[in-house]
Amino acid sequence: MTPRRQSVQDRTLRLDLQKALGEGDVEEIPLSRRIFEYLDQSNDGIVRPKALLDHFNKCGLRTDDPRISTLCDTLQDNPSLDITIDVFEELTKDSCGIIEKGFSGQLCIPTFDDFRANVDRLIDETCRHAGVDSKHNVTSANAFVVSMCTVDGQRHVTGNQSELEVEICMEGCCKPILYGMAMETNPGIDNYISHEPSGLDSHAMSLQLKDNKRRPHNPLMNTGALLSCALLGQPGQSVDERYRLYESRLHNLFSRTSKKQQDDGHLPTPLTTPVSVEESKYASRNTSLSYMLDDAKCFPPHTDVADVVQLFFRACAATCSVDELSLFAATLANGGLHPITNERIMQPQSVRQCLSVMFSCGLGTYSGEWSFHVGIPALSSLGGAMLVVVPGLMGFCSYSPTLDRSNNSIHGVTFFKALSRTFTFHNFDSLPMINFQRKDPRRDSRTIQVEMTTKLLIAAAEGDVCEVRRLRSRGANLDAIDYDSRTALHLAASEGKIKVVNYLVKHHVLLSPVDRWGGTPMSDAITFGHLHVAQLLTKAGVISNSIKHKTSSQPTKQPPVLLQDLSVFYAAYSGDLQSLKASYTSGVNFSSLRDYDGRTPLHVACAEGRFDVVKFLITTAGVPILVKDRNQKTPISEAKRGGHAAVLEFIRKQLQTPATVSKRHFPVLTVPQTPRRHIDDDDSDDSDDDLEDYEVSSHSAFQFLSMATDNEPCDEAKVNVSTLITTLRENGLLETDPRLKKLVESVKFLGADATLSVEQYRYLTESGAILLERALAKSLIIPEFNDFCDELIDIFEAAKLNRGGHIATYIPQLANVDPEKFGMALCTIDGQRFSLGDSKDHFCVQSCSKAISYCLAVEELGADKVHFHMGCEPSGLRFNDLSLLDRGGYRIPHNPMINSGAIMSSSLIRKDLPLHQRFEYIMQTWKALCGDSAVGFDNSVCLSERSSADRNWCLGFMMREAECLPDDTNLAEALEFYFEQCSLTTSCESFSVLAASLASGGVCPLTNHRVFEAETVKNCLSLMFSCGMYDASGTWGYSVGIPAKSGVSGVLLLVIPNVMGLAVWSPRLDEIGNSVRGVQFCQELVTRFPFHNFDAFVEHMKQPSPVHRTATDAKTAVDPKVRRKLAYQLLYAAYEGNVEEIRRLKLHGASVHSCDYDGRTAMHIAASMGHVAVVQELLRQGADIRALDRWGGTPLSDAERYAPSNACDVMKLLQQAMTVYP
C-alpha cells in the first residue's frame, strides 16, 4: 500500500487547494501545530482547557504527572482561557512529546479509558463473586483496592472503598527489591541462593541440597530474603547503613521526593514504624530460619545473624500505599526504568532475574497453577498485597487482606485470573489466534481484525494460495468483508487467480457475496475477462445469468471465446496445422482450452510427436507448457513417454529462452474439467494436489529480477536459475520445502545454467509468491539468516568440546548409543531451516513425547477435564519420584511432564479405540507436526522399556490406589501406550519442525496445516517452561528462560514462541538427566541473543535480536509497513465516519493518498458513504478528489451513485473543491 505518485503540477495544485482551505503543507506542519489542529475540532483556532484536561484523563495521564503538572496547573487555574496556537506552543513547549504520544494513540495502551472501564468491571465482578457490593458493606477484612501503572506512566487506582490511598506494610513485596540490590553488589549471588520452586510455604524450614551444598530454594522464600539481606551493601556496613540504602531505593521507586510534594508540604512517608517492633515480637520463625542458614554455612563469612534478621524485619515493616507499589511493578515492567521520571532504579539484568523467580516462585505453593492460568510474574505478601508485572506493558498492585490456604490474597488471585482471561497478558498469549479469544490492550480488536482481513484480501489479489492457507490456519475468516463489502473471492475472481478461487470454493466460502456495487465474484470474473474463473464458479453452482454487473464508467472486457467442440484437439492429434492456424485466425484462444481430462492441445500434440504443431502452439498460440492434466501429466511428460526427442529438445530451449507470445493471446491457464467432488467434498486437508495452475502476480517477479540483476526490471529481464536457488538457500528455504516443491521440480528439469524471464518466473513460483517476496525483502522472521547460522556454528563447535556427563543406562538399549553423537537443527515459523552435526540420525524421543501426549489429551477432552486428573505444579523432585500432589485431600500427579503425569495422559487419549489404532493416531499427529516427514518406532527400545518398567508400574498402582485414574482405565494398556510413545524415533531435522509448529501456535510452518489449537499450545508451553527440565526447571527458567523439554536419550526440544523451534541431541546427560551439550548450547544461545523470556530489558547487553521487527514494533510512520497499516486504518475510519480517528491517524503519519487493492482511497469511501464531515476533513488534508479506482470511479461518481440522502452535500463539497483543483 503506497501513496499514488504525484507530479510536480499535482503537488502545486494540492498546495493551492490547501491554501484555499486555510491549510499549510501537511508534511511540513510542526508537531505542536499538528497537535493543536487535532484538538481544534471546531476549526475556530481556539482550544479550551477542558478539552486538554479531558484528553489527558482519557489517555490515563494524571494531572499530577510531573511531565505535564505545570501545564495542568495552568489549565485548572484558568478554566475559561482561550488557547490560541501561540499560547498553546508556549504552554506545551516542555511537554509536547508526551502529549503527542497520548493524543495520537502511541502510548502503550492507546485506548486507556476503555481498558480502565474493563478493569473496573472486573473488580466489581470480583467483589460480587465474594458477596461484597462495590463500595457498600465494606470492612477492613473484605477491602479490595487495585492500582495500575503502565510503562508510559498511565495510571489508575480503584476499589470497593471510598478511600483508595490505603497504607500498608511492604511485607513480602520487599523481597525482589532486596534481591535486586544484593545482586547488583554481589555478582556471585547464585552461589548463595538457588532459583527452584520449593513446593513449600515461603516460611518453610527447608533448604535445597545440590552438589553437596545446602542453600535457599529461591530468593522469594524467607530463607532467600534473609540471604539477600546478608549480601546487600558492602562488607562491614552496619545494619543502619544498609537500611538507608534500602530506604533510598524506596524513595526513588515511589517518587516521594518529587518537587510537587515538597511544594505542597508533603514529606516522605516515614519508613520505620512500630510495625517493625511487631515483626520482631512475632518473628521466632524467621529467627529460627536465620540460625538454620548459619548452621548450614549459607551466609557469607563474618555475617552478623542478628543484624541480618533486624534488617529483614525493618524492610518488611516499611510502609507504602497500593498506588506506590504499582509504580514499583511498572518499574519492573519497564526494565528498571521509572515509568514517569525515566530514572534507572534497577539494572536490566537484575530485573530479568527478579521477573524469572517471580514467574516460577512468586505465589508459594500456588506458583505452578499461577504460571499456568495467569502466566505473568507476580509476588504475594502475607499482608494481602500482590504485585503483578506484565513485562513491557504495565504493573499492578492489589490489596485485600483475606488469604487462601496458600497465603495468597483471595480477591487478588480471583481478579488477576479474570484479567488474564480477558486480556492477552499471559506469557504465551502472543501465539497466533490467541488474540481472537482475548483483548489486546496494546491494540484495539478492530485493528487486529482489519489487519487480518486486509492481509487475506491482498493475498487473494496476489494469487498466493499459500498465504491464504496460512492466514486461515491462524483464524482468518475467509468470508470477511472490507469497507466495500468485498471478499477474498471477489478479489481473486477480479484478478483471475484461479488457484485461490479453487481453494476458497473448496473451503465453502459464500459463492455469491454482493459488494457495495451489487457485484459478485462471478460478475467480476466476467467483467475482467477471466472466463476460466467463471467456469469454476459455474461448476461450483453459481448461476451466471443471475449476476448483477457493476455500473462503472470503465467498459467491460470481452470474454475469450469458449470452444464448443473438440475440433482443435483432433487437429493437434492428426497434425493438421492448417486447421489450427484457421482456428487461431478466427479468434480461438488456445491458451484457455482444456478437454474433459484437463488436457490442452499441446498435451495431445506432444503425445503424438507433432513437432510443427507443438512449435505453433507454443510460439504463436501461447499455450502454456507447464500445465498438468487431471492425471498430473504435463506436455513434457507426454513427449517423454512417447520418446519424441525433437519435441523435448524444442520445449527445453523454449523454457530456457523468453517465449515469444502473441500479445492478443497472453497465456492464461484455465480450470480443467475435473469431477465436481474436488469442490464439494468436505476435506479438512489443505493440500494443493487438486488445485489448478494459475497466473502469479508479476509484482514478486519484477521484485526478484530487480534484486537479482541490480537492473531496472522489465518484461525482457532475465535471471539465472542458480541465482534463484542461491537466494532461497541464503534465506534458509531448502529445496525439500513442500511449499517450493513445484518450483524445485521445474528448476531441476531446466538445469542450473538456465535463465528465466518474468513470464517464466511467474509460472514457476506458483503459489509461493508472497513467501519469496518476504525472503527477498528480508522480512522473514530471521532476515539475516546466514549471519545467525554462523553464530550457531560457533556455539555448536564450543559445546562439542564438552565431554562431561554420562549415557542413560537404566534403559538397556539407550546404553548402546554412541556418546559422541551431537546434532542440532532449527526451523523458524516461516520455515527457514538449518542443521549441524548428526542432525539426520534418528533417536528415541523418550520424555519429549510427554508434551505431545498432553496436547492430544487436551485437544480431545479440554484443559479443565485433563487437569482434573493432574496438576500444573513443579514437583521439585525426580521425574519418576513416587509422590503425588495433594489437592484438597485428592491426590494427583504434579504435572504432565513427569512420568506419573505422562501415564495419566496416556490413559486419557482416545480410549474409544483399540491400542493399535491409538498408536496410529499419535503417529499421524507426530507426522503432521514434523511437516509430513518420517517418524519411526524403535521396537527394541519399547521392549527394553517394558522389561525395566518396575518404577512406572509402581507409579501406576500408586495412582490407582489414590483413585485419580479414570474409572475405566486399563492400567496395563495405559503403560504399554506410554512405552510406545517414548519409543518413537525422529531426527533433529524433523524434530525442529515439530518445535516450530509449537512456536507458531500449533500450525506446521512447512504445510500451514493447523495440528493443535493455539490455546492447547499455550498450556503446553506454560508447563514446558515451569516443569519441562525435570527438577532443574526453575534454574532453567532463570538462566535460559525458554520453554523446553528434555529426554533421557539426550534430546532437548526448545521452543521460542513466534520465532523458531530447535532440537539438540547429544546422549551425554548430567546428574538430573538433561543433555550436557544441549544445556550448554542453549545457555550460550541466550547469552548471545535476547531469547530469554524476559530479555526485552537486556538487549543492549547482547547482540541485536536476529528476529525481524514487525510493523507493530515500529514507532514512526517512516516504515512502509507502518504506512500500509495506517492506510487501512484510515480507510476503515472513513467508512465509519470517524473524523476524530482520521485526525489521530494524520497525527500519527497516515497519508490520505494511500489506496487499497482496488485503488480505493479514503475519499472514495467517505463519498460513497455520504460522510460529509469526513470529506471535509480529507479535503483539509489535501486528499486527491480525482483518484481513480479499479473501475474508473472517482469520489464524485461514487457520491452520485451510492451515497445516501445527503449525497447532495457531499457532491457540493467535491464540486467546490474541483473548481479550486481543476
pTM: 0.73
How much is the mean pLDDT over the chain?
Answer: 81
Task: Tell me the C-alpha distance between 257 and 249, whole Å.
Answer: 12
What pLDDT was estimated at residue 163?
63
Residue 833 CB coordination number (10 Å): 24
What pLDDT was estimated at residue 279?
54
Task: Tell me the C-alpha distance between 389 and 180, whole Å.
Answer: 15
Between β-strands 378-380 and 208-210, what pairing exists: parallel, antiparallel or unpaired? unpaired
Domain 567-667 class? mainly alpha
Residues 434, 436, 440, CA angle at the centre, nearest 5°?
Answer: 80
Task: Tell me the C-alpha distance between 1134 and 1174, whole Å.
Answer: 6
Residue with cell 503506497: 2
Which DSSP letter does residue 815 get? G
pLDDT in tens, 296-319: 999 999 899 999 999 999 999 999
- Cβ atoms of residues 199 and 874 within 8 Å: yes
Contacts of 882 (CB under 8 A, 6+ apart): 951, 954, 955, 958
Task: Name the band, by pLDDT with cuts 50, 70 and 90, for residue 18.
Answer: very low
What's the CA dihedral at 958, 963, 964, 969 to 10 degrees?
Answer: 90
pLDDT in tens, 861-879: 999 999 999 999 888 778 8
Between β-strands 984-987 and 936-937, what pairing exists: parallel, antiparallel or unpaired? antiparallel
Task: Tell me the C-alpha distance between 875 and 324, whole Å.
Answer: 35
Predicted confidence (pLDDT) at residue 553 exceeds the cutoff of 70: no
Nearest to 1195 by CA among 1158, 1170, 1220, 1221: 1170
In one-letter notation, the amino acid at residue 779 is: S
Task: Tell me the C-alpha distance between 781 and 255, whole Å.
Answer: 40
Residue spans per domain, the chain: 167-427, 445-546, 567-667, 698-777, 789-1101
- Cβ atoms of residues 390 and 333 within 8 Å: yes
Burial of 1048 (0-12, 13-18, 19+ CB in 10 A): buried
Task: Name the band, by pLDDT with cuts 50, 70 and 90, for residue 979.
Answer: very high
Domain 167-427 class? alpha beta
Task: Tell me the C-alpha distance between 1150 and 788, whole Å.
Answer: 34
For residue 1175, which phi and psi values (nearest 5 degrees)?
A: -60, -45
- Of 206-220, 313-327, 877-891, the one with minimum mean pLDDT is 877-891
What pLDDT was estimated at residue 711?
47
Nearest to 450 by CA among 419, 490, 477: 477
Nearest to 1006 by CA among 470, 494, 277: 470
What pLDDT was estimated at residue 562?
34
Task: Tell me the C-alpha distance between 953 and 812, whole Å.
Answer: 18
Burial of 654 (0-12, 13-18, 19+ CB in 10 A): middle
In one-letter notation, the amino acid at residue 85 is: I
- Of 17-21, 113-117, 502-506, 1121-1125, the one with minimum mean pLDDT is 17-21
Q: Is 209 left (phi over 0), alpha (psi -120 to 50) or beta?
A: beta
Task: Tell me the C-alpha distance between 1153 and 1181, whole Å.
Answer: 10
- In CATH terms, 789-1101 corresponds, of 3.60.15.10, 3.40.710.10, 3.40.390.10, 3.20.80.10, to 3.40.710.10
Which DSSP letter does residue 83 get? B
What pLDDT was estimated at residue 280?
53
Q: Give yes or no on whether 167-427 and 789-1101 have one common fold.
A: yes
Tell me which of 220 and 1137 has the higher pLDDT: 220
Task: Name the band, by pLDDT with cuts 50, 70 and 90, for residue 762.
Answer: low
User: What proportions of the chain, in percent to the nearest 5, are helix, strand and coil?
Assistant: 50, 10, 40
What pLDDT was estimated at residue 804?
92
Dmax over CA atoms of the chain, in Å, equals 112
- Cβ atoms of residues 442 and 450 within 8 Å: no
Contacts of 675 (CB under 8 A, 6+ apart): none
By three-state DSSP, how is residue 936 classified? strand
By three-state DSSP, how is residue 653 classified? helix
| Partner residues linked to 1063 by β-bridges | 825, 1053
End-to-end Cα separation, the chain, in angstroms: 26
For residue 344, which phi and psi values (nearest 5 degrees)?
A: -80, 120
Nearest to 665 by CA among 578, 557, 584: 584
Predicted confidence (pLDDT) at residue 840 exceeds the cutoff of 90: yes
Task: Report residue 1222 as a C-alpha cell.
Answer: 481543476
Residue with cell 470481452: 558
Residues in the chain: 1222
Domain range 698-777, CATH architecture: Orthogonal Bundle (1.10)
What pLDDT was estimated at residue 269?
42
Q: How many CA atoms lie within 13 A of 537 on its CB side?
A: 33
| Partner residues linked to 833 by β-bridges | 827
Residues 951, 952, 957, CA angle at the centre, nearest 5°?
Answer: 100
Task: Name the band, by pLDDT with cuts 50, 70 and 90, for residue 1192.
Answer: confident
Predicted confidence (pLDDT) at residue 789 exceeds the cutoff of 90: yes
Domain range 445-546, CATH architecture: Alpha Horseshoe (1.25)
What pLDDT was estimated at residue 755?
78
Predicted confidence (pLDDT) at residue 763 exceeds the cutoff of 50: yes
Tell me which of 432 and 690 has the higher pLDDT: 432
Task: Name the band, by pLDDT with cuts 50, 70 and 90, for residue 667.
Answer: very low
Residues 941-950 have a mean pLDDT of 87
* DSSP per-residue codes, 994-1059: HHHHHHTTSB-TTT--B-S-HHHHHHHHHHHHHHTTGGGHHHHHHHT-S-EEE-TTSEEEEEETTT
pLDDT in tens, 729-759: 888 988 788 888 777 777 777 776 777 776 6
Tell me which of 675 and 857 has the higher pLDDT: 857
Residues 132-141 have a mean pLDDT of 58
Predicted confidence (pLDDT) at residue 30 exceeds the cutoff of 90: no
Tell me which of 284 and 695 has the higher pLDDT: 284
Predicted confidence (pLDDT) at residue 1102 exceeds the cutoff of 90: no
Task: Tell me the C-alpha distance between 195 and 200, whole Å.
Answer: 14
Which pairs with CB-CB distance under 8 Å and at least 24 residues apart come from 185-192? Answer: 185/231, 185/232, 185/233, 185/234, 186/231, 189/231, 191/215, 192/216, 192/227, 192/231, 192/298, 192/300
